[in-house]
Amino acid sequence: MIDIKFIRDNPDIVRSAIQNKKGKPVDIDELLRLNDERKELRQKIDEINRQRNEAASKRDIEGGKRLKEELAALEATHLDVEKRFVALMILIPNIPSPDTPIGADESENKILREVGEKRSFGSYSPRQHFEIGEGLGFINSDRAGEVSGARFAYLMGDLAMMQFALLNLSMKILTDEEILKEIAARAGLKVSTKPFIPVVPPYMMRPAVMNRMARLDPIDERYYFEKDDEVLIGSAEHTLGPLHMDQTIPEEQFPIRYVGYSPAFRREAGSYGKDTRGLIRMHHFDKVEMETFVKPEDGYVEQDFIVAIQEHLLNLLGLPYRVVSICTGDMGFPDQRQFDMDTWMPGQSTYRETHTSDYMGGFQARRLSTKIKRNDGTSEFVHMNDATLVAMGRTLAAILENYQEADGSVRIPKALQLYMGKEVMTPLK
RNA sequence: GGAGAGGUGGCUGAGCGGUCGAAAGCAGCACACUGCUAAUGUGUUGAACCUCAAAAGGGUUCCGAGGGUUCGAAUCCCUCCCUCUCCGCCA
């Protein structure tokens, strides 16, 4: 949710944001009119309440009764206006940053840079990750299909071990201040290098709280347990973000950084037939996720730092990737600025999205009521960032494809060898 | 799942139909005092929203959440959520 004052002062910016983000059209004039109306009604209600308090203290029973009836009518009107106001307010997306490309869909995303050398495989034509993985016994999709249904897989043997190695490596990076300092220095960023706090967050949450994260929609994408009124998280972000809801936090405690490890559950409604094989599009995958809370003035540099961390990891793994600035029509509803990292998949001969970095500004914080208390006594909403560090399925797929050899074997990236104690993956068949 | 107790300001905790945004203590802040690193004294300190150019001032709301009873609710009633204790069940 954005500030109604901002909407009143900048209606045209809001209108073009809605249009550029392909949001549902909102009648801004009606929204502002409803805001005036609700404020006016609120003032009337306040005045009657004042008179009612006065009557009560004077034990004026008759006057009190009369005011009570008057109030009931006003409150009914107010409630109605308020509902209509909120219904429009929640349709207003976050305003894209000035450097966000304007575009209708992903074809208009802007590629900022391509990094890393794409391997030449010579006469050998590289296979897709699921061919490699199933061939060596690392991925069992057939049995998962029978046991769990489509879009599930068993990760076996060294591929399972590699997931834990990736977890260890990424946790090491985020909790070691020396490493973070190097990353910041190399990227030329003046930013706090305060380490991330590791978190294993809850995997289920109340829909009402997910809604405060502006992540409940599209509801078709969520697994919902009606009996318990719980949804499965689609990302650790969903339960990391509300860690500070309804809190006001002193200025000196920022930045606050968390790294969560959790499964991500996605129904993949509406993506039937897309990426049906392998690990690219799963109902469940595990993910290392960053979530940070910063002072408003530090929001953009924090995101730059997060992107630098993501690139650091991809470089360590020796995976070629590109950094993409997501255009207005393709970016998330609560996002102010979004970057994706697409990793090169030689088997598919294309880049696939493996990372995303979302800067929300104060959009989520306003709904969550997470505030910063300034040293001068004022308070304002904190700014929030969330981003992938490792999405396991897709990263494992990228490693299989990039590290395959003509003889059918798969080497292990140097950065993971330490954690796996070997240089080549051991086939199960 | 069964039985019981409870949710009040930054914390502890009193209040249990009007004088309560709320005692007291702690913590914080300011001033004073003491030459010793903290003690003592006095004062002061919740949040959101509206009004105001702003400050001051004024108003409304907030005692887990929502609804109800009443002229009047932190206090009574209902629903829900959460915490704790005991039992059961489990890892």
Same-domain pairing of A54 and A112: no
The CA–C1' separation of A411 and B4, in angstroms, is 62
User: Nearest nucleotide (C1') to the CA of residue A61?
Assistant: B71
Nearest CA to the C1' of B60 belongs to which residue? A46
Q: Are residues A43 and A156 in the same domain?
A: no
**CA A53, C1' B26: Å apart?**
34
DSSP code at position A298: G
Footprint of strand B on the protein (CB under 7 A): A 39, 42-43, 45-47, 49-50, 52-53, 55-57, 59-61, 64-65, 67-68, 248, 379
From the CA atom positions of chain A, what is the Rg in Å?
25
Residues A148 and A297 in one domain: yes
- Domain co-membership, A189 together with A52: no
Q: Which residue stretches of chain A have pLDDT < 50?
A: none
Last residue of a domain, one of A33, A57, A89: A89
Q: Judge if A84 and A120 occupy the same domain.
A: no
* Number of residues that make up chain A: 429
Covered bases, chain B (protein CB within 7 Å): 18-19, 47-51, 59-61, 71-72
Find all residues with CB under 8 Å of A1, minimum gap 6, and list them.
A89, A90, A92, A214, A363, A366, A367
Domain boundary among A39, A61, A89: A89
Position A426 in a domain: no
Which nucleotide does the CA of A45 lie closest to, via C1'?
B60
End residue of a domain, out of A64, A89, A114: A89
Closest nucleotide C1' to the C-alpha of A66: B71
Q: Does some domain include residue A101? A: no
Residue A303, domain member (yes or no): yes
- pLDDT, residue A59, reads 87
For chain A, what is the domain count? 2
Which residue approaches B47 most closely, CA to C1'?
A248
Distance between CA A203 and CA A224 in Å, rounded?
Answer: 12
- Nucleotide minimizing C1' to CA distance for residue A72: B68
Tell me: do A116 and A240 sit in the same domain.
yes
Following DSSP, what letter does each residue of A372-390 receive, concatenated?
EE-TTS-EEE-EEEEEEEE
pTM of the full predicted structure?
0.93
A73 in the same domain as A126: no
For residue A425, being part of any structural domain is answered with no
One domain, residues A267 and A369: yes
Nearest DNA or RNA nucleotide to A42 (CA to C1'): B50
A368 & A287 share domain:
yes
Q: Cα angle at A245 between A240 and A248, to 5 degrees?
A: 120
Please indicate, yes or no, if residue A395 is contained in any of the structural domains.
yes
**Do A19 and A151 fall within a single domain?**
no
Does A428 map to a domain? no
Q: State residue A121's pLDDT score.
A: 92
CA of A1 to C1' of B5 (A): 40
User: CA-to-C1' distance for A232 and B91, Å?
Assistant: 21
CATH number at residue A157: 3.30.930.10
Question: Å from A198 (CA) to B44 (C1')?
Answer: 41
- Long-range Cβ contact pairs of A79-86 (< 8 A, separation 24 or more): A81/A34, A81/A37, A81/A38, A81/A41, A82/A38, A84/A34, A85/A31, A85/A34, A85/A35, A85/A38
A214 located within any domain: yes
Distance A208 CA to B65 C1' (A): 13
- A243 CA to B6 C1' in angstroms comes to 25
C-alpha distance from residue A336 to each of A65, A80, A107, A298, A325 (Å): 50, 31, 19, 14, 12
Domain range for A185: 106-420
pLDDT digits (tens, 9 = 90+) for A307-325: 999 999 999 999 999 999 9
Statement to judge: residues A189 and A328 lie in one domain: yes
Rounded to whole angstroms, the distance from the CA of residue A11 to the C1' of nucleotide B49 is 23
Which nucleotide is at minimal CA–C1' distance from A49? B60
- Here the CATH number for the domain that contains residue A39 is 1.10.287.40
Q: Which nucleotide is nearest to A53 (CA to C1')?
A: B72
Same domain, yes or no: A228 and A376 = yes
Residue A81 (CA) to nucleotide B16 (C1'), in angstroms, measures 37
